[in-house]
Structure 1
Amino acid sequence: MAAPKAPLFHPLSRRLHILLLMNVGSFVNMYMNSNIAITINCMVNSTATALNNPILTSLNETIILESPFSNTSNGQIDEVVENQCGAQHKDGKPIVIDYGGSLVWDKSIQNFVFSGTFWGGLITCLPSIFLVQKLNPKWAIFATQANKALMNSLIPFFSLHLGYYFTFGARFMLGVSDAFTVPFYNSIITNWFPVAERSTALAIYTTGNQLAIVFGNPISAAFCQSRWGWPMVYYYAAASAVGWCIVWLIFGSNSPHECKKMTTVERIYLNENVVAKKTKEQRKSQKIPWVKMMTNHAFIAYLYCNFVITVLITFIMIYLPTYTKDVLLLSVLANGAFTSLPSVFNFLFKVMWSLLVDKLKSSHIITPTTSVKISQSLTNFGGALFFFLVVMFVDCTRPILAFVLFCSINVCFGAQISGAYTSLLSIAPQFTATMSSVGMCVNMIGKVLTPMIVGYFNTSGTVLEWNRVLLAFSCLSCSAAIVFLALGSGEVQDFAHEPKKAIIEKDEDKELIVTVRMNSLQAESMTALN
């Protein structure tokens, strides 16, 4: 007799509670990483760095500098008047927008500080591959968030008093946590959600990433302009993480088998529809088919798409505020609004698209492989097109067009949830944690290379240099779509099949004998943006 279905969207649904808790966790986690995107412009003295820039000073023209925080002037600051670009000098001379910072960090130092998180994740991701199958996900996630809270609380002191090497070190430790966070979240979702719900579950969980940009950038901009200044951005992030950690310890759970409070109907439903929870001894003894896994065409396609989308999203989250400051000449509050609102469209489209894809799959209108290929094509071909349009048509006279195009890019990226990331959680469900860790290594390589790519094409922040960056990203995005169309899959791969097993478990309320079909998972599922 089939177990009664326990709906996901119900006030008493325990997996919905876990999902919402993870959503807030992803919000806090992303905000602690990305808060530097806006804040770096408030930390740095753009006036001093511009005067030290040989490219700008070689123009033999006076550099016009504007600070929204100060009415003072010096020999380098001249009359600023309004035209269609916003702040512009009457003689058309170069403009540098200064948000009132005190740190003299040029573009190379800023890229170095940005990369700290990425290097931390890259160096740690290799050992994480071997540890994620053995550690307790709930406690590991708590430890990673607590570490991030500590580092955020130290960044203001390091930056103001000890120098950028210490700031790099703090961000390096943020990256150490990142190497473990996503694999453990993926493992919990695999334990809690049936195949038919996973695209929806991941879409909701990962919206925390977008919400961190939607609300985080305006919050950071407001703190920058407040009497507390930019240090409060980091203190606020740290306090939020501490609060979440307390709630997570009380209500978080690795799997339904460890959850003490749940309706009997939902427990029976999950026992019969979710992969069985392995014991600690089973996790340690499980053999990973490394050669078959690493040479599998579907996994290779996922890894390449993961690399490319990481580069693109890192640019959007970390460098877009600097781009809009340099190219569109936006003030700090306008910059916060401009860079946050496109994520709203990503959030809305991601949820709607994942629901549509799950509906089409459950109705057998499209196959799992077709669904992930369509989704990934929309992500990469669409992103490539709109990056190219930004290069062709955007300058400081067209901020509205720039906003529309960057919103369109974010919409396309929303389909990634149902594309390559769903493929990851479908091709070998029992190896989700290990494959996620391998994916995190590739993810970190992409993050490390992003500042290098941006720094190679962009040394002084001119419009021409930024356009070269975007054109390179457009080409890279196209290549990912082509690779996934050729090699991607949404089906369980041969190396992941294993025989049926009967597992006897003791229910919290009563003894239950549950036969769990270990190989019944089909290709569907889950995704999360870094």
Structure 2
Amino acid sequence: MTIKSFNLVEKGPKWGIRHVQVLFLFICSTLVVAQRFNMSVAIVAFTNANSSNPNFPEYRLTEQQKSYLLSSPFWGSCCTQMMSGYLSSRFGAKLMLLGIMLITALLSISTPFALAWGGWQLLFWVRLVQGLAMGGMWPCLYTHLAKWCPKEEANRMGGVMTTGLDCGTIMGFALSGVLSASPLGWPSTFYVPGYLGIMWCLLFLRYGANSPSESRFISLIERKLALEQSQVPRGETPPVPWLRILTSRPFIVLALSKMSQACSFYTLMQQIPRYIHGIFHYSIRVNALLSAVPFVVMLMSSYGFIFLAEYLTRHRDIPLPILRKTINSFATWTPAVALVILSYLSDENVVGSMCCLVAATAAISGQAIGSSLNHVDLSPNFAGLLFGISNTLMSAAGVISPIIIGLTVTNESDRTQWRSVFLGISVILFLGNLLYVIFGQMTAQPWNDFQSKETTTQASPKTLQPTTAPEETFSVEKFNYF
């Protein structure tokens, strides 16, 4: 007798292991991003001790040396994005995420010692190696998400995961400023996220799993839901269609759009503390808090975009292409307009300048729903690899941006120099999203097919004739889960 179905429960538990995995991904992105961007505040503290805590050592750096330190993590991350996406797609993301977090945490703890022993040169190499590890994080996150996330929960769970970027930025700015001005001094801005990262590794080693089928803690009902609705089919890992991916117009347009967005996002993340310090001359504590305000609003607006996307897709039946392109246009063109306005405000208009920064960063949060999840739309099987390729271009923007700004902005107090930077970014944002609106697609591409042509043509007639064989195989799998 063949058991054909076990449709005992239509929906999985409201809180399950898949949500725990997303929580791990959220915390991972928060800590790694905090370790990447805490340098934006710390570099103000350890080059100007009077602005924070004068009891800790001060180092004299030129503007060009500061730019090198701010861009050094991106130099490394450019080299590991594609490799991480490929390896995580082939072998799973758990061990890679563990290695990434452990390396970045240990190097973060060693940062003050590197600066004391070898000056900015040694610190540059430490941050570059840290960037090598950080570069592999986002492709692994998307690979892990695709294996655990049912299709109907993609916007919600993917959106929550990407808000770790906002929380990490807030932690990197606000917490770094508070710690720098505290009795612990600026070195604690590197110690705290480092030790938290080690704690994350211990917990993820115990409760993390590459897929629902490998988890020791998942319930039978949730495993059935995850395996049936996951966007990544079960079976052998498919060969990577490199040529078709690299010549796919929808993916090329998506990658260029993400690169244009990176120019604005990384510039705001890296340069807001310098901009506020140069234009308004606030102390490190006030500087850090003001720098964090736009990203607090960005975090809140991220959840607003998540709920909006859920409402429009579930209750208004808005087609996915319209949803993605509309939200992405708002998230890209709004910062472009805000930066143009910011470039022409006077030095005394603090409220207007902060409003422009808040508007720009708050709108950027919509990119997670607008274009970041588009990697999963185009190819659930190779989502991590696609994100690795596009994030390589984004990291390249993170490398080039501080260097160009370092050459352009030779005087932090000169608003006309900042104007050239903001206007240039606005043009890049406009053109990048225009391409995405015209040529972007939100459907799985033909090269996403799990079975290669060779497998299909070599299949024997005997395996194709019986119509009941798939039901029997599927039934046995379902039976084994119980």
Asked if TM exceeds 0.5, the reply is: yes
The 8 Å contact of residues 73 and 128 in structure 2, kept in 1 or not, is answered as yes
| Conserved? CA contact 2:34–2:171, under 8 Å | no
Does the alignment pair 1:371 with 2:323? yes
**Matched position secondary structure for 1:163:** helix
Pairing partner for 1:332 from 269, 284, 288:
284
Q: Which stretch has the larger CA shift, 495-504 or 340-349?
A: 495-504
Structure 1 residues 358-367 or 480-489, which shifts more?
Answer: 358-367
Deviations 1:78-105 (A, max 9, x none): xxxxxxxxxxxxxxxxxxxxx9862111
Q: Deviation at 1:167?
A: 0.5
Match of 1:22 among 25, 32, 44: 25
Query: Contact 2:104–2:134 at 8 Å: present in 1 too?
Result: no
Q: Which residue number in structure 2 is paired with residue 350 of structure 1?
A: 302
String of CA shifts for 1:469-501, please: whole Å, max 9, x gaps: 111111111111111111111112233245799
Q: Which residue of 2 aligns with 1:96?
A: none
Alignment partners' CA distance in 2, 1:276 and 1:321: 42
Report the Cα offset of residue 274 of structure 1. Answer: 0.9
- Structure 2 residue aligned with 1:322, among 271, 274, 297? 274
Maintained 8 Å contact 1:187/1:433: yes
**Structure 2 segments unaligned to the other structure (5+ residues):** 457-468
The total of aligned residue pairs comes to 458
Deviations 1:374-411 (A, max 9, x none): 0111111111011111112252x122222221111122
The yes-or-no answer on 1:310 pairing with 2:310 is no
1:183 equivalent in structure 2: 139
Query: Which letter maps to 1:430?
Result: N
Q: Which moved more, 1:423-432 or 1:494-503?
A: 494-503
Report if aligned partners of 1:312, 1:473 keep a CA contact under 8 Å in 2: yes
1:158 aligns with 2:101: no
Aligned to 2:74: 118
Matched with 1:242 is 198
> Could you tell me whether the CA contact under 8 Å between 1:378 and 1:415 is conserved in 2?
yes
Q: Name the residue aligned to 1:459.
A: 410
User: Which residue of structure 2 lines up, in the alignment, with residue 204 of structure 1?
Assistant: 160
- Structure 2 contact 92–144 (Cα < 8 Å) conserved: no
CA contact (8 A) 2:92 2:143 kept: no
State the Cα deviation string for residues 52-102 of structure 1 (Å, max 9, x = none). Answer: xxxxxxxxxxxxxx85667xxxxxxxxxxxxxxxxxxxxxxxxxxxx9862
Deviates more, 1:152-161 or 1:212-221: 212-221
Say which of 350, 356, 360 aligns to 1:399. Answer: 350
Amino acid at match of 1:511: N
Return the alpha-carbon distance in structure 2 between the equivalents of residues 304 and 512 of structure 1: 43
CA contact (8 A) 1:305 1:484 kept: yes
Give the corresponding residue for 2:35.
32
Partner SS state of residue 430, structure 1: coil
Alpha carbons 1:199, 1:417 under 8 Å: kept:
no
* CA–CA separation in structure 2 for the residues paired with 1:265 and 1:506: 16
Percentage of matched positions with identical amino acids: 18
Partner of 1:270: 226
Aligned: 1:511 with 2:472:
no
Q: Normalising by the residue count of structure 1, what TM-score does the alignment of the two structures yield?
A: 0.81
The 2-side partners of 1:125 and 1:117 are apart by 13
Distance in 2 (CA, whole Å) between partners of 1:29 and 1:68 is: 24
Other structure's SS at 2:79 match: helix
Corresponding position of 2:9: 4
Q: Is the 8 A contact 2:257 2:433 kept in 1?
A: yes
The Cα offsets for residues 192-232 of structure 1, whole Å up to 9 and x where unpaired, read as: 11122111111111212211222332221122112221111
* Corresponding position of 1:291: 243
1:88 alignment counterpart:
none
Greater helix share, 1 or 2? 2
- 1:388 equivalent among 322, 327, 340: 340
Q: For 1:426 and 1:5, locate their aligned partners in 2 and report how far apart those are by CA, in whole Å.
A: 24
Further displaced range: 24-33 or 358-367: 358-367
Call closer, same or farther: CA 1:136–1:272 in 2, change over 3 Å: closer
What one-letter code is carried by the residue in structure 2 that aligns with 1:411? A
Distance 2:174 2:382 in 1: 39
Q: Say whether the 8 Å CA contact 1:125–1:437 is kept in structure 2.
A: yes
Matches of 1:506 and 1:160, distance apart in 2? 63
- Asked if residue 481 in structure 1 is aligned to residue 441 in structure 2, the reply is no
Cα distance change of structure 1 residues 124 and 13 upon mapping to structure 2, 3 Å threshold: closer
Which residue of structure 2 lines up, in the alignment, with residue 137 of structure 1? Answer: 93
Q: CA deviation at 1:315?
A: 1.3
Distance 1:444 1:67 in 2: 31
In the alignment, residue 494 of structure 1 is paired with which amino acid? P
CA contact (8 A) 2:53 2:182 kept: no
Partners of 2:339 and 2:245 lie apart in 1 by 33
Q: Distance in 2 between matches of 1:179 and 1:29?
A: 10
After TM superposition, give the deviation of residue 256 of structure 1 in Å.
0.9
Moved more, 125-134 or 137-146: 125-134
Structure 1 residue 506: Cα displacement: 7.9
Instruction: For 2:148 and 2:475, locate their aligned partners in 1 and report how far apart those are by CA, in whole Å.
Output: 16
**Secondary structure, in 3 states, of the residue corresponding to 1:227?**
coil
Q: Does 1:105 align with 2:108?
A: no
Give, in whole Å, the separation in 2 of the partners of 1:505 and 1:159. Answer: 61
Shifted more, 340-349 versus 112-121: the winner is 340-349
1:318 Cα deviation after fit: 1.5
Which SS does the other structure have where 1:37 is aligned? Answer: helix
CA contact (8 A) 2:142 2:387 kept: yes
* Shift of residue 426, structure 1, vs aligned partner: 0.3
TM-score after normalising by structure 2: 0.89
> Is the 1:346–1:412 contact (alpha carbons within 8 Å) kept by the matching residues of 2?
yes
Which stretch has the larger CA shift, 121-130 or 229-238?
121-130
How far apart are residue 173 of structure 1 and its match? 1.2
SS of 2:231's equivalent in the other structure is coil
| Mapped pair 1:341 → 2:293 | yes
2:53, 2:185 within 8 Å by CA — same for their partners in 1? Answer: no
Aligned equivalent of 2:370, options 410, 415, 419 = 419
CA separation in 2, counterparts of 1:320 and 1:413?
15
Aligned equivalents of 2:150, 2:180: Cα separation in 1: 44
Seen in structure 2, the aligned counterparts of structure 1 residues 394 and 270 have a Cα distance that, compared at 3 Å, is farther
Q: How far apart in 2 are the matches of 1:100 and 1:326?
A: 23
Q: Deviation per CA, 1:302-328: give whole Å up to 9, x if none.
A: 101111122211112221111111012
Change in 2 beyond 3 A, CA 1:290/1:69: closer
Q: What do the CA deviations read for 1:17-55 (whole angstroms, capped 9, x no partner)?
A: 211122111111111111101100011149xxxxxxxxx
